[in-house]
């Protein structure tokens, strides 16, 4: 289509206006706007720059098309109005996925007066383009009645390129809103601080409780067996005493005759001071490990009415007999264990769920860009490798894992094209990328329980020499976990393929880390990373 010659001043004004929208759109992507704010402001700008009387954005929701924003004189009542499949010009655009200019609506059979009847507006001409996301039509933009020049091929092209930008922004905001929602759901679900403080390995905790019970009861051996609901067996969780290690390998079917099995089935404590006289006694396991059982005190482990296992004390020392005081004491211990093990079990389940949720979120974000796929997982691997080499505690490793998985969550706000761009980035694009640690911090802010990891995410692009961002922190002023993540992050960035180059070999990347010790990286951490990586990859 031949472009109409415009007055140069007008053309300049138009170009400026176009730039203004593009500029605003790219900025709005990296900031924290709601969908309504985004579309509202966008349509305002559109009307101003295109100099039209009215304009709207329509979106599909649950396979129905409706006016999401309607601007201009009398347009208000249209908001949230539904458009039937193929109805009117805009319905046609969404149905066919084609753009259209209708200079005189009276001459076009697709036009419907229905919407003018609702608003009292008089539509004369329409320019409408579809909103397409990865081939899927998600809605349309339409503008009505240009104030001066009639709609031209140029205006159509311009609106189409705006449409392609705005869908990215829309998708970004959707993703951001969804992420926030998921995180606030997590708020209710997880008490992460609790998971972290009580993630002491179950074994250690149980072992120490059982050890003190051995002393209190003055017995030769003590064991704790938990019900494996899948196989209906009792499984040794703790076995203290001379033959403890060997006996731990056994699994005892609950239905098989045994004192432990009887207690697990009946939920009642039992004292057997001479096992030879009790038909429920099963000598099999003791014989196998060459251990002679004489007397047994066995109590159930219950949570509410559910039996989760049994605790067994064997052979009271000096041939004494178990009495009801021993039984009460042991029952109390069993009770504590039941509660503790349920808590740890619960916490382990929650932890698994938490990491599952976080991982699926991260995958969704990384899917935006093929070049970052798997990045956060790999950074996490490197960070944990370094964390273990530094002998961080299990609790600290949980925090480190969460922080590194989420370190780039703020990239959700960076325009899609920017992340995978081949050409050098503009200043504006750099700004938007540098914003991601702060955006990440903002996303996590409402999740009270993980607020302790926010600083690690906020500062993962600080440099040891103070030349990083966002706060130009330096040296050990930068949180330890951020310094750890920074190394894993850069190592992965160097060794992965990018749109503009192939990934470096691990050997060369390690050399780069070596070179930047003390400037970009914490010199000690970098050294440990290099050694550990070499050691575990035989480089």
Give whichever of 142 and 489 is closer to Fe ion, judged by the CB atom: 489
Q: How far is the CB of 480 from Fe ion (least distance, A)?
A: 17
Give whichever of 53 and 489 is closer to Fe ion, judged by the CB atom: 489
**Paired tokens of 49:** 């720059």
Q: Coil, strand or helix: which one is 222?
A: strand
Which spans of this chain sit near Fe ion (rule: CB under 5 A)?
Answer: 408, 489
Q: How far is the CB of 376 from Fe ion (least distance, A)?
A: 7
Give whichever of 233 and 489 is closer to Fe ion, judged by the CB atom: 489
Stated as kind and residue range, the H or E segment containing 538 is none
- Residue 222 CA to chain centroid, in angstroms? 43
Nearest CA to 455 out of 521, 403, 532, 380 is that of 403
Give whichever of 247 and 412 is closer to Fe ion, judged by the CB atom: 412
How far is residue 387's CA from residue 389's CA, in Å, rounded to a whole number? 5
Give whichever of 220 and 489 is closer to Fe ion, judged by the CB atom: 489
Give whichever of 335 and 420 is closer to Fe ion, judged by the CB atom: 420
For residue 147, the tally of other CB atoms under 10 A from its CB is 9
Which position has the token pair 């251990």?
Answer: 291
Q: Coil, strand or helix: which one is 142?
A: strand
Q: How far is the CB of 134 from Fe ion (least distance, A)?
A: 24
DSSP letters spanning 260-316: HHHHHHH---EEES-GGG-TT---HHHHHTT-----EEEEEEEETTEEEEEEEEEEE
Give whichever of 38 and 405 is closer to Fe ion, judged by the CB atom: 405
Which strands form 270-272's sheet, in the order they lie side by side? 251-253, 233-240, 219-228, 306-316, 296-303, 270-272
For residue 360, the tally of other CB atoms under 10 A from its CB is 10
């Amino acid at each position: 289509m031949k472009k109409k010659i415009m007055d140069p001043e007008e053309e300049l004004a138009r170009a400026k206006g176009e730039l203004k929208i593009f500029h605003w759109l790219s900025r709005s992507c990296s900031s924290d706007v709601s969908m309504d704010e985004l579309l509202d402001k966008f349509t305002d700008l559109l009307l101003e720059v295109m100099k039209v009387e009215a304009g709207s954005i329509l979106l599909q929701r649950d396979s129905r098309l409706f006016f999401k924003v309607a601007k201009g004189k009398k347009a208000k009542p249209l908001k949230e109005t539904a458009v039937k499949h193929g109805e009117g010009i805009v319905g046609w655009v969404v149905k066919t996925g084609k753009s259209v200019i209708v200079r005189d609506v009276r001459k076009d059979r697709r036009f419907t007066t229905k919407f003018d009847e609702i608003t009292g507006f008089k539509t004369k001409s329409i320019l409408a383009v579809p909103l397409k996301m990865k081939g899927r039509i998600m809605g349309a933009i339409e503008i009505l009645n240009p104030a001066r020049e009639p709609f031209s091929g140029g205006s159509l092209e311009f609106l189409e390129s705006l449409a392609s930008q705005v869908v990215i922004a829309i998708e970004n905001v959707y993703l951001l809103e969804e992420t926030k929602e998921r995180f606030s759901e997590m708020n209710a679900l997880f008490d992460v601080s609790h998971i972290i403080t009580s993630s002491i390995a179950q074994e250690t905790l149980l072992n120490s409780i059982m050890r003190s019970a051995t002393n209190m009861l003055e017995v030769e051996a003590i064991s704790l067996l938990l019900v494996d609901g899948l196989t209906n067996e009792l499984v040794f969780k703790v076995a203290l005493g001379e033959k403890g290690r060997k006996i731990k390998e056994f699994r005892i079917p609950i239905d098989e005759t045994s004192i432990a099995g009887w207690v697990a089935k009946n939920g009642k404590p039992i004292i057997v001071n001479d096992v030879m006289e009790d038909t429920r006694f099963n000598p099999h396991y003791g014989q196998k490990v060459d251990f002679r059982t004489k007397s047994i005190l066995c109590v159930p482990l219950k949570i509410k009415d559910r039996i989760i296992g049994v605790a067994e004390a064997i052979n009271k020392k000096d041939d004494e007999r178990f009495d009801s005081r021993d039984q009460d004491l042991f029952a109390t211990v069993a009770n504590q264990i039941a509660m503790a093990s349920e808590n740890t079990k619960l916490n382990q389940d929650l932890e698994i769920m938490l990491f599952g949720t976080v991982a699926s979120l991260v995958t969704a974000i990384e899917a935006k860009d093929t070049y970052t796929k798997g990045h956060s997982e790999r950074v996490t691997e490197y960070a944990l490798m370094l964390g273990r080499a530094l002998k961080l505690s299990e609790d600290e490793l949980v925090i480190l894992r969460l922080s590194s998985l989420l370190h780039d969550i703020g990239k959700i706000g960076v325009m899609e094209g920017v992340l995978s761009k081949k050409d050098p980035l503009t200043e504006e694009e750099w700004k938007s990328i540098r914003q991601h640690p702060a955006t990440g911090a903002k996303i996590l802010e409402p999740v009270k329980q993980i607020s302790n990891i926010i600083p690690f995410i906020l500062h993962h692009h600080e440099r040891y020499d103070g030349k990083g961002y966002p706060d130009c922190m330096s040296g050990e002023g930068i949180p330890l976990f951020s310094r750890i993540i920074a190394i894993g992050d850069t190592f992965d960035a160097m060794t992965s393929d990018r749109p503009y180059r192939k990934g470096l070999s691990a050997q060369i990347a390690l050399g780069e880390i070596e070179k930047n010790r003390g400037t970009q990286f914490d010199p000690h951490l970098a050294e440990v990373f290099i050694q550990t990586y070499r050691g575990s990859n035989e480089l």
